[in-house]
Structure 1
């Protein structure tokens, strides 16, 4: 017996429920589409109003079909869908496609979506939809759609899962010879979700790349498991996440909360799982075509040649924006390339190979391909149709392809200029053709990073709070802790804090200064006031006890009921380190350059905790302000080892307090030559009642 996923996506027999003889109707189009590619399985028509439709018999219900069916496709109204699903489940159908929305309620007042979901769960049925465009299965020549395509290319080793029906139809209808082996319009995922499709493609097909257009991940735990399986099997997942802005997001009280949200959480989780994140449909297609190439990329270097000095400058600029390096060619390679160039032209990478008109394209690109550090060879050109030079360029890249076993790529600098005929011929030989400088370079970056840029995450352990901090949390009268208690919590897990003390009288300040010296800072410590500086609640660099008395009086006048703390002044580079709780993926750590302008400059990155010191260093290196930590403009370098240790320990606490603390922020962390200190903190307990494990 077929599994439910196989019954859905690779059925041996199909029932079209709601088949119609009326030309142009959805039921008629669906029945025609299913057989349009030469589907070899049995197709049964179901409609109690007809005995026959055309020359085919028509059954009154699914249960009357001899031998049963694997999959039922429903071309009926929402008002009929629950009864029809119950009948199909009773008949043993294991796969269903729901094109309608299943909107509204049953006569008993139950939401139809809920009723359909329950039927599928009880019957062990896989469902595509509701509110979907269907699916495509090219290996089995099955087009399950009421809005079919008349012409589709051959399979390319890529599968597609899309929450957007319009994007699904646009991608499937591409004119770049990329036939999706399987293309699923997943719709509302009433019973079968993203992870189910990914796992099926990994375990039951020969798919080499999985491309996804996502509105959301409805089952994060299942998605993580499926993505980890894909990574272990060497099948890249490409994801275009829709709805990346936080315009409708209710932010948390901390700066890091304002910097987190859907976009940061998905980016962080994709990075942890090795999922390739793209920003447009065109980038998705270029990346999928490149990653689906059957020739392996065995070295990290990219060699690129072009016939334009100006476009070479553009390519170098755009590559730098993406952090995409080109291979450093060996001296012998440069010499071999230079031997083919006109006098005065310098061998380089990227290379402008066009001089006084001699055709050196194939020789120079072949020499570049021979360099042991080169893993992929790229010709960047425009290939307009009806031009002799385009034919010369195509002939040259064919020769290069024949002369090497490395991947060979053409990158068109202007997508609308590329000759469709030449592009199709090159792709037919296994030469990828990328459709634009920006998307092409992004695809090359993704290819290189997937094979050579990913770091295997070092094991990192979550760190639960010690008993003393658990007691502190349980005793706290509010959801938000005072900074005083937040510092105590941080100290309990081994995070160094600038010395602090609760202040009630000037004598408390004097005693603190006797132990820790001057200058000091005074701060209000009211959990209800998150950004104390904005409310005139911080006085810095107090150098004498007289100044301290004046500052204390000023703060009490401004905030009469707020407790006050004194803290030793410290110097260093300001960073922000925060943990927020994403509703889908749980704890999320935000790291960046901090202070009062954090939300303005937004030089931050997000990571999924826990992570190691090495991963903390990589995250710091990804920030624009990283040179501030390493001695830029005569600064003394900070103690990076101590800083990364603090960040990694914070991440362990973020993971270990899941369900106990919703938000935790240190802003700033001060990093200096002699270590790193927490200087201010915000702690927000879980809003719900704290439970004990």
Structure 2
């Protein structure tokens, strides 16, 4: 595929088709200040939106850099083929009725394949796509109204949804939008590929991605690596969380690690911060546009109300943000500015003694900044009636930023209490105007947790249909070959096992073979002696049984499982194990491959971590053995990635000296 440069930064555009949509493309191009050539193409109309029309593409003076194809879906294929043959720079395919309509129209998927073939190596956006706005160069292919204005530098936003794109252009939050791009069906050019191209524009400060699905994971890895190298932060609003209750699963792991867990693990691995609401998404982009990623999670808050001070402290409880206590130098500066009547703390209620004195306010607010603080915010609500008396707050905030050079924001507790003209003034002075207290905390938390993408490339799974589930003994044998510690055991027909059971050391466990959830079926009997085996076998009633030595010095039980997630890779799940796995539902998810450091960090996030460390003077588990168990399971998965569907060890009994797989399951798929 050719470069996207000509398409995204065109000097000439062709608008192919008639009707209101194509007319709007021309009107909106003129409104935003496009200075290049505009060539309507229409077989019957002599004029379109005040421009002389060309009867056909062959009549154009030269191949256009960008083309808006506003004809029906069947004609779109012919037009795209002609544009490709003549050497056009790229096209936006507006028509719908392609893969998005496949459920209702049997021809839709075939039409999309034909469209891609017609495009060849000419880039296309869509189909079912509104196109793009380039507010940096005053160029667009956009068939509707929008709220973008020319900017010299700004953020790029990419979304599959044209309606969401329109709404985001209408934001009134002083956020400079450099590019707004809709991706549509992404039949040929994917969202990640477009974002990669935007990284070459030094005027782009940050990229926001509204993601419905990822597609080619190698493109996303390339995007994350290039963005990190260029210092351009990426954030995402990922939609489409799965309903795990609807899954048909054969293991505890699969019930816990649905596609939502895979999506989050992928974003974490790529170092992309995730937001959950459009307002948070916009506020984060604003912060990143001005400051880029923050150095940490240390927050300072200033307000002239104790109610606001307690409110922001409470609202931050569910985030990673912290309010460090004031240092001595801060207290000295604050006391000099505020006098003896104010109780000093973080968050700070500075009362209103110095209100209207911008210099005094700035001196106090500056005292809440410093090397130990990553972001300082002043809570200011501008009244909608008459905000004239609040000019001092704006001036003070601008002075703090100018004097200290530290990240500083003014936050309104409600979005509607931050006037747009004030927000623009603050942005021009390098101060973040936050629209809403909750939104501000979400943005600061996201900007403080952006990470470097993982160095290891993802292990991509096969897509064959699962056809075989190995029994416990076979699964343990397979995993043992890769270093997993399993108990001594005997498995097979009932009488064969009974004849050989004396070779094992009591206490013993007896299990029925061939059952997915043996405990639920009453097919697991524990703490048995050799003389109990015959009776236990009769009670269980399965044709084949497994008898194994029990692990008696366990500190804790863990689950370690891997499920194949076709959209995201192999999801490694770590969590509390045993019969309470799905009751506790406390897990950490990673995508393979991982390092031992990744596993240790994930284990540390679990609520069972204190038990592993030796809770209340109890013995600690052998953490190295746990990590080695996870790495052994990973080694098996990597060796069988084309056919593996699922592997689970539950429980992994963790002792002071071992980590022993007491139960294991492997599900395999056929080769695709």
Above 0.5 in TM-score? yes
Partner in structure 2 of residue 445 of structure 1: 445
1:40-96 Cα offsets, whole Å, 9 max, x none, are 110001101022336422101112111221111112222321222222223221310
1:227-248 Cα offsets, whole Å, 9 max, x none, are 2211222211111111112359
Partner in structure 2 of residue 469 of structure 1: none
| Matched-pair contact (CA < 8 Å) for 1:495–1:646 | yes
Q: CA deviation at 1:627?
A: 2.1
| Matched-pair contact (CA < 8 Å) for 1:63–1:88 | no
Structure 1 Cα separation of the partners of residues 95 and 168 of structure 2: 21
**1:679 aligned to 2:665?**
no
Ranges in structure 1 where 5+ consecutive residues have no aligned partner: 465-476
- CA 150–226 in structure 1, closer or farther in 2 if over 3 Å, else same: closer
**1:611 aligned to 2:594?**
yes
Q: Decide which of 347, 350, 356 is 2:347's aligned counterpart.
A: 350
**1:549 aligned to 2:508?**
no
- CA 165–368 in structure 1, closer or farther in 2 if over 3 Å, else same: same
**1:57 aligned to 2:52?**
yes
Partner in structure 2 of residue 500 of structure 1: 489
- CA 188–457 in structure 1, closer or farther in 2 if over 3 Å, else same: closer
**1:433 aligned to 2:433?**
yes
Structure 1 Cα separation of the partners of residues 617 and 106 of structure 2: 76
TM-score of the two chains, using structure 1 as the length reference? 0.88
Q: Decide which of 316, 320, 327 is 1:330's aligned counterpart.
A: 327
Q: CA deviation at 1:145?
A: 1.2
Q: CA deviation at 1:356?
A: 5.1
Partner in structure 2 of residue 269 of structure 1: 266
**1:661 aligned to 2:644?**
yes
Q: Decide which of 451, 470, 476 is 1:487's aligned counterpart.
A: 476
| Matched-pair contact (CA < 8 Å) for 2:497–2:546 | no
**1:598 aligned to 2:581?**
yes
Partner in structure 2 of residue 648 of structure 1: 631
Structure 2 Cα separation of the partners of residues 574 and 634 of structure 1: 18
- CA 444–335 in structure 1, closer or farther in 2 if over 3 Å, else same: same
| Matched-pair contact (CA < 8 Å) for 2:160–2:210 | yes
Structure 1 Cα separation of the partners of residues 456 and 366 of structure 2: 43
Partner in structure 1 of residue 14 of structure 2: 15
| Matched-pair contact (CA < 8 Å) for 1:610–1:654 | no
- CA 478–509 in structure 1, closer or farther in 2 if over 3 Å, else same: farther
| Matched-pair contact (CA < 8 Å) for 1:319–1:441 | yes
Give the secondary structure class of the aligned counterpart of 1:35. helix
| Matched-pair contact (CA < 8 Å) for 1:383–1:393 | no
- CA 673–353 in structure 1, closer or farther in 2 if over 3 Å, else same: farther
Partner in structure 2 of residue 163 of structure 1: 160
- CA 277–110 in structure 1, closer or farther in 2 if over 3 Å, else same: closer
Q: CA deviation at 1:174?
A: 0.5
Q: CA deviation at 1:576?
A: 0.9
Instruction: Give 1:86-105 correspondences, 5 Å limit.
Output: 86-103=81-98
Structure 2 Cα separation of the partners of residues 675 and 618 of structure 1: 20
Give the secondary structure class of the aligned counterpart of 1:565. strand
Q: CA deviation at 1:406?
A: 1.9
Q: CA deviation at 1:387?
A: 3.9
**1:211 aligned to 2:208?**
yes
Partner in structure 2 of residue 117 of structure 1: 116
| Matched-pair contact (CA < 8 Å) for 2:13–2:67 | yes
Q: How many residues end up aligned between the 2 structures? A: 658
Structure 1 Cα separation of the partners of residues 64 and 182 of structure 2: 22
Structure 1 Cα separation of the partners of residues 219 and 295 of structure 2: 32
Give the secondary structure class of the aligned counterpart of 1:597. helix
- CA 478–85 in structure 1, closer or farther in 2 if over 3 Å, else same: closer
| Matched-pair contact (CA < 8 Å) for 2:244–2:255 | no
**1:522 aligned to 2:510?**
yes
| Matched-pair contact (CA < 8 Å) for 1:132–1:188 | yes
Structure 1 Cα separation of the partners of residues 213 and 106 of structure 2: 31
Q: Decide which of 606, 628, 631 is 2:614's aligned counterpart.
A: 631
Give the secondary structure class of the aligned counterpart of 1:59. coil
Structure 1 Cα separation of the partners of residues 583 and 79 of structure 2: 55
Instruction: Give 1:367-386 correspondences, 5 Å limit.
Output: 367-369=367-369, 371-385=370-384, 386=386
1:592-613 Cα offsets, whole Å, 9 max, x none, are 1122232232201110112122
Q: CA deviation at 1:116?
A: 0.9
Q: CA deviation at 1:377?
A: 2.1
- CA 16–594 in structure 1, closer or farther in 2 if over 3 Å, else same: same
Give the secondary structure class of the aligned counterpart of 2:558. strand
| Matched-pair contact (CA < 8 Å) for 1:155–1:180 | no
- CA 402–412 in structure 1, closer or farther in 2 if over 3 Å, else same: same
Give the secondary structure class of the aligned counterpart of 2:377. strand
Give the secondary structure class of the aligned counterpart of 1:563. strand
| Matched-pair contact (CA < 8 Å) for 2:489–2:504 | no
Structure 2 Cα separation of the partners of residues 320 and 107 of structure 1: 51
Structure 2 Cα separation of the partners of residues 577 and 438 of structure 1: 36
Structure 2 Cα separation of the partners of residues 3 and 689 of structure 1: 34
- CA 108–615 in structure 1, closer or farther in 2 if over 3 Å, else same: closer
Ranges in structure 2 where 5+ consecutive residues have no aligned partner: none
Instruction: Give 1:172-191 correspondences, 5 Å limit.
Output: 172-191=169-188
Structure 1 Cα separation of the partners of residues 665 and 214 of structure 2: 30
Partner in structure 1 of residue 546 of structure 2: 564
- CA 510–364 in structure 1, closer or farther in 2 if over 3 Å, else same: farther
Q: CA deviation at 1:334?
A: 2.7
Give the secondary structure class of the aligned counterpart of 1:133. coil
**1:587 aligned to 2:570?**
yes
Structure 1 Cα separation of the partners of residues 158 and 635 of structure 2: 34
